[in-house]
Amino acid sequence: MHCPGCGHESSLDQKFCRKCGFNLEPVSKLITGQAGSDEIQTDRSEQERRLVRRMFRWISWGCLVLLFGVILLIFNRGFIHEAMFQPLSSLLILGGVAMATYGVLSTVLRGTYLPGKTSTGTAAEQIDQVKATDELIEPQVPTFMPSVTDRTTQLIDEPAAIERQQPGQ
């Protein structure tokens, strides 16, 4: 393994590069295939927390609308347009129930598609999925990068080459 910071060759068991001090532990985890389990678990739990917060927000708003509809239904006897408030309160009650139901159902559906969840299938299908993710998409070949001193060396050599071509001037 080579250090991503300086390119110095290092072993997989080193935690830091001996030349530049770069933290090699995440890189060695990536190479050995142990990386990501903690990060995926943390990411998944954070997404689950967001989903639960979203669900309770929808349920809370649904309960508030439902409560407003029940209050209108109870106190509609004192209003002038009593016939108009009964359908309105019924719509508010149904809307509140619909909002709360949407919050629960959307959270359940979104929760089933969180990354890191195990798929339901045969063991052979799961092994094929793991093998497919272990392969590189395309081989990556490092590109040549010139040294910082290459251009400086060329600039120094130019006057010497000119003097050799035109002696005596």
Residues 94, 23: Cα–Cα separation, whole Å: 58
Judge whether 97 lies within some domain: yes
Is 76 in contact with 82 (CB distance < 8 Å)?
yes
Judge whether 5 lies within some domain: yes
10-residue mean pLDDT series, the chain (169 residues): 80 82 79 61 78 92 92 76 80 92 88 59 56 58 70 71 66
- Which letter does DSSP use for residue 78 in this model? G
Judge whether 147 lies within some domain: no
Please tell me the predicted confidence (pLDDT) of residue 119: 47
Please tell me the predicted confidence (pLDDT) of residue 96: 93
Please tell me the predicted confidence (pLDDT) of residue 107: 87
Residues 109 and 58 in one domain: yes
Please tell me the predicted confidence (pLDDT) of residue 137: 57
Please tell me the predicted confidence (pLDDT) of residue 114: 62
Judge whether 168 lies within some domain: no
Judge whether 80 lies within some domain: yes
Is 14 in contact with 28 (CB distance < 8 Å)?
yes
- Count how many residues are written for the chain: 169
Judge whether 148 lies within some domain: no
Please tell me the predicted confidence (pLDDT) of residue 19: 82
List of long-range contacts for 44-49, beta carbons under 8 Å, 24+ apart: 44/114, 44/115, 44/116, 44/117, 47/114, 47/115, 48/111, 48/114
Please tell me the predicted confidence (pLDDT) of residue 38: 57
Please tell me the predicted confidence (pLDDT) of residue 128: 60
Judge whether 126 lies within some domain: no
Q: Which domain holds residue 5?
A: 1-35
The residue among 30, 29, 10 whose CA lies nearest residue 19 is 10
